[in-house]
Amino acid sequence: MNPSPLLKACIAAASACALQPVHAQSSATIYGRLNVAMEHASQSGAGSLNRQANHRSVLGFRGEEDLGDGLRALWQLEAAVALNTGEGGAFNRDVRVGLAGRWGTAFAGVWTLPYTAATSAFDPFYATTAGYMALLGNGSASQTDHAQNTSAFDRRQVNQVQYWSPTVAGVSARLAYGLNEGFVAADGARPWLASGSVSYARGNALFTVAAEHHDAYQARGTSDTAAKLGVAYQWGPARLTAMAERLRYGTATGRLTRNAWHLSASWRAGTGLLKAGYGRAGNGQGASSDTIGAVRSGAGTGAAQWTLGYDRELSKRTTLFAFFSRIQNRSAAAYDFAINDLGAQPGSRLGVLAVGLRHSF
């Protein structure tokens, strides 16, 4: 049997690391996350199914080299691994090469945008079927460009540059620019994007604000914007988070806006973690007659999602988990799970019960 392209790429990368001379000022690390669950999923009016679901498992290589005078070279190669099918892409997730110093970090490659990264850790169910991306961000794009997933504000973008500031008095910032790379849409538009976030950590509290701009994604001469606020607070064994988001799309038929929010709570007891989340997307508003992702204007276009779960840590690296999540669409809404979707129909009620195992190395 011929090895897959992913396996070939991983073997080549590992061999390259192994053949390089070992210097005290250099490092290379192999890491990964294997995350799979057995799920019972259902949609009102469409029945149910049992499935094995992959929750964004990854395999990666990263390292750095000390260049002296506080300057370091950074690199990373990360690939998606589908444990349920054995498929995977050759380094199709966070990949970069860059420099870091006292002035901050700058790099080029494919990377999660600052808008997404600002609050991904706020949701205890992020990167699973139950993640808040079902409502917030209007979809999730694991890897994308200007021509695909033009509705999503939860995205990992190709052909971009990023800058991360150092943390000063608890304040840090991230900025990204997605280059056009000569792409011209059918209507002559030359789309690009910009994304940024600012975070402030003080004691047990974390505050963040993030914004993103998509230029000419829906039509030539239009723009889409997203803005959100988030706060997280650690109180002993409990962690509480809150987020609020506003999306605005420019379409050929007019403006389309939508507000959404999400709350989560987790409580640690020994090796167990009890988790809960609740999110709500409001009705879309504006003159636009277009449907962008799951967002459209009019009455009955909102939805709600609630999730309950429990993690049991078997070791520092291995966790057994279970959760139940439900999305309740209003009469004209068709929000779906952003990962492992079910093909939601307007007004449908979706549910997923999952039991899984996660191992990190």
Q: 258: domain CATH number? A: 2.40.160.10
Amino acid symbol at 139 = G
Mean per-residue pLDDT, 53-69:
93
In a domain, 349, yes or no: yes
Residue 86, pLDDT score: 74
**Whole-angstrom distance, CA of residue 28 vs CA of residue 15:** 12
* Burial of 361 per CB tally in 10 Å (0-12, 13-18, 19+): exposed
Cβ atoms of residues 275 and 125 within 8 Å? yes
The residue that leads in pLDDT, 271 or 7, is 271
Domain that holds residue 319: 5-14+28-360
Residues in the chain: 361
- What is the number of H-type helices and E-type strands within the chain? 2, 18
Mean per-residue pLDDT, 81-97:
84
In a domain, 280, yes or no: yes
pLDDT surpasses 70 at 53? yes
Residue 26, pLDDT score: 78
pLDDT surpasses 70 at 49? yes
Q: How many domains does the chain have?
A: 1
Mean per-residue pLDDT, 42-66:
93
Residue 28, both tokens:
């290379």
Residue 170, both tokens:
């608890």
For 165-193, how does the pLDDT look when each residue is reduced to its tens digit (9 = 90+)? 999 999 999 999 999 999 999 999 999 99
In a domain, 118, yes or no: yes
Helices (H), 133-195: none
**Whole-angstrom distance, CA of residue 285 vs CA of residue 283:** 6
Amino acid symbol at 57 = S
For 262-302, how does the pLDDT look when each residue is reduced to its tens digit (9 = 90+)? 999 999 999 999 999 999 999 999 999 999 999 999 999 99
**Whole-angstrom distance, CA of residue 268 vs CA of residue 355:** 19
In a domain, 122, yes or no: yes
The distance from CA 254 to its chain's CA centroid, rounded to whole angstroms, is 28
Residue 25, pLDDT score: 61
In a domain, 23, yes or no: no
In a domain, 120, yes or no: yes
Residue 27, pLDDT score: 87
21 CB-near residues (< 8 Å, 6+ apart): none
Residue with tokens 């992020």: 126
In a domain, 20, yes or no: no
In a domain, 298, yes or no: yes
Residue 161, both tokens:
């540059």
**Whole-angstrom distance, CA of residue 13 vs CA of residue 358:** 24
